[in-house]
Structures are given as C-alpha cells and as structure tokens.
Amino acid sequence: MNNRDFLLLMLAMGAVTYLPRMFPLVMLSRRTLPHWFAEWLELIPAAILSALIAPTLFADSAPRVFTLGKIELLAALPTLLCAVKTRSLAGTVVVGMLCYWGLGLVM
Amino acid sequence: MEEKIRQGLAAAWPICLGYFPIGLSLGVLAQKGGLAPWQMGAMSLLVFAGGSQFIAVAMLGAGASSLAIVSTVFMVNLRHLLMSSAMAVHFPGVSRRFLTLFAYGLTDESFAVNMTRFNQGGWNRYSALTLNHAANATWIISSVAGVYLGQLVPPGSAGVDYALTGMFICLLVFQLRSPIFTITALIAALCSVLAYLWLPGNAYVIVASCLAATIGLILKRTRRKQEVPA
C-alpha cells in the first residue's frame, strides 16, 4: 500500500470512528436511541471479537479449509482459561504467547 | 478554569497509565505488520480507538481490503453511539464547536471516568476535555514509541505472532457479561468460520457479527417474552 492509499484509509477509518462519537452529542442531544438498537449494539463487540478469532483457530488460510488441532487452537485453551481466571490483559497476552511458542517447539 | 484543567489531569493518570503499555504493544505489533512510525502516529491521531486499531493492524497484516477494514472499524465503533448519547445530558446548551472537539476524545475509558465524575459533581466540561486530550496524547506517544521498540524485537520471537489472538481472546472474555453475550459469541464464531470458508475476501467478520448480534437480540427478546407473559 502506498502512502497516499494509507492516508486515505486512515482518514476513512477516522471518519467512521468519529461520526458515532460525535453525532449523538451534537445532533440528538435531546433524543435517545431506540431500545432494540441499543441492545443490538451491546452485543456487537462480543460478536466481532469472536468472528475475528474463530477462523484463526478453526481454519487454514490457503486453501480455506476447516481444521481441528491447529497450534493456535491448542494455545487458545490455556489463554482463555487465563483470561477468565485473572481478567488481566497483559497477563493473558503473555500466557498466550508462551503457550503458542512452547507448542510450536514441541509440535 | 486552571483549577478545572488540573482536576482533569489528576483524574486522567489512571487512564494514561493503562494506555501506555497497550499503546506500546500496538506499536510493536504494527511494526511487525510493516507500519512505519509516522504511519502509526497518523493512525493513532486520526482514529484514536484502541480496539479498532488492533483490528486494523491485524487486517492490514493479513492483506485485507480497505473496504473490509473500514467497515469492520465502523461496526466496532458503533458502540460509541450509546456512550455519546449518554454523555449528551451533561452538556446542556454547550456550543457545537466544543462538542465536535470533545467527541474526538470519547473512548470507553474516558467515558467511564467522565460519567462517574459528572455524576459525583464538581466536574465541568473543561476538566472532561483535558482528561480526553491527556489520554489521547499518551496514546499517540506510546504507540509510536512501540514501533521503535518493535524494531528491537526479532520477528517470530517467543510467540509474538500470537499476541493479537491472545489479546482478542481476553477482550472477548471481558465482553461476556451474561449468558446472552456468550451465546452470541458462539453463534458469531460458527457463522464466521462458515462465512470464511464460503465467502471470498474478508466479508466474514461483518457478515458473521451482524448475523450473530441479530440472532442474539431475537433470542434475548423471545426469552424475555416467555419469562414475563403479557
């Protein structure tokens, strides 16, 4: 990606980040979001994170095929456990990296 | 006025302390994904959103299209609609110019602290604006510093390739506040793998997350109706 395309991408990312932050404050300060929409929005972050992770754990990339037993999946189990138990972002990332690295050496 | 700015800075330090290591790790990962320091700086300045910047770095590294990246970032940040609406009650009659500037610094963390402070009293919009910009400055500096730090970390060392996945797993766990979130996440994982296998490109993230959130919402509403018969 050249510099011009990169900057255009950043401007577009900036716009789609800024507008949801700005619009209700400036425009709709006396109205509230419909309740069903607010409930839908609440579920979106969990859905996106899960959708991002799942193919990394359960599929090969070239060609795209379903697979069980990738190192990524095996390392995800202790990582998940660590996240649930400690609720520490830094700790979880370190545990995940060490498990992935260790499994890579063994397998 | 000076007093309010000082208050803002005093309340900002836990956020800054929290942002610094996250910004550093973002920078390290961005460097591994091929970003230069100025590119990291431009991203942190123009976007200023932790979660979506990590996602953008991961998608850039995977060679995703700009359209896929922008639409994913848009979806991730839609939650700010909620926070922005909730903040609005604390700015009655405030000029649009101030609000357009203030909105730039609205993050999960600044929202949480500003809302608490406004509700406690003795907090005004200048304290809130100061807090936002202190957090923003920390974010830009730490993420650019991370790119330089990343140049010292050899690629592939000690599982650094897994850092993003590990972080997404942890952020996901933070999101699972009740069973409906867990159910939605499981549906999203299933839809995402299926869409990944069947659809070309990176549309799978958007398709799967919209579908899963919609199914989750329907399940939640159906269950509520059963629990409370009209």
Task: Please state the domain extents for chain B.
Answer: 2-155, 176-230
Q: Let me know if residue A70 belongs to a domain.
A: no
Beta-carbon separation of B75 and A17 below 8 A: no
Position B229 confidence tier, pLDDT thresholds 50, 70, 90: low
H-helix segments, chain A: 3-26, 35-58, 71-86, 89-106
Q: Closest-CA residue in chain B for A83?
A: B170
Please give the tally of structural domains in chain A. 1
Query: CA B190 to CA B209: how far, in whole Å?
Result: 10
Is residue A56 assigned to a domain?
A: no
Q: Which residues contact B48 (CB under 8 A, 6 or more apart)?
A: A17, B104, B105, B107, B136, B139, B140
Chain B residue numbers touching A100 (CB-CB < 8 A): 159, 161-162, 165-166
In a domain? residue A61? no
Residue A52 lies in a domain: no
Who wins on pLDDT, A65 or B87? A65
> Which of the two residues, B25 and B191, has the higher pLDDT score?
B191
Q: What's this model's pTM, rounded to 2 decimal places? A: 0.76
Mean pLDDT, chain B, whole residue set: 89
User: What phi and psi values does residue A66 have, to the nearest 5 degrees?
Assistant: -70, 140
Put simply, the answer to whether A50 touches B66 (Cβ < 8 Å) is no
Q: Which domain holds residue A7?
A: 1-31
Yes or no: say if A87 and B150 are a contact pair by the CB < 8 Å rule: no
CB within 8 Å: B217 and A40: yes
C-alpha B42/C-alpha A101 separation (Å) is 32
Structural domain includes residue A2: yes
pLDDT higher for B126 or B16?
Answer: B126
Q: Tell me, what's the pLDDT at B230?
A: 52
In angstroms, the CA B136 to CA B98 distance is: 17
Name the 3-class secondary structure at B33. coil
> Residue B9 — pLDDT band, cuts 50, 70, 90?
very high
Q: Can you read off the two tokens belonging to residue A85?
A: 């138990």
Among chain A residues, the shortest Cα distance to B220 is held by A39
Q: Are A98 and B159 in contact (CB under 8 A)?
A: yes
* Backbone angles phi and psi of A32, in degrees to 5: -120, 160
Residues of B in contact with A7 (CB under 8 A): 42
- Average pLDDT, rounded, for chain A: 89
pLDDT in tens, B198-222: 987 777 888 898 999 999 999 999 9
In a domain, A67, yes or no: no
| Residue A11 lies inside a defined structural domain of this protein | yes
pLDDT for A89: 74
Residues in CB range of B142: below 8 A, 6 or more apart: B19, B20, B21, B22, B23, B24, B26, B27
- Chain A residues 48-77 with CB within 8 Å of chain B: 48-59, 64-66, 72, 75-76
- Tell me: the pLDDT tens digits for B37-47? 999 999 999 99
Tokens, residue B37: 């320091």
- How does residue B102 score in pLDDT terms, banded at 50, 70 and 90? very high
pLDDT at B53 over 90: yes
CA atoms within a 13 Å half-sphere pointing along the CA-CB vector of B83: 25
A30 pLDDT tier (thresholds 50, 70, 90): low
- What percent of chain A clears pLDDT 70, i.e. is strictly above it? 94
Q: Is residue B156 scored above 70 in pLDDT?
A: no
pLDDT confidence bin for A32, thresholds 50/70/90: low
Mean pLDDT of B135-160: 87
Q: Is residue B177 predicted with pLDDT exceeding 60?
A: yes
pLDDT band at B140 (very low <50, low <70, confident <90, very high): very high
CA gap B41, B38 in Å, rounded: 5
Provide the pLDDT confidence category of residue A31 given band limits of 50, 70 and 90: low
Q: How far apart are CA A59 and CA A70, in angstroms?
A: 8
Backbone φ/ψ region at A6: left (φ over 0), alpha (ψ -120 to 50), beta: alpha
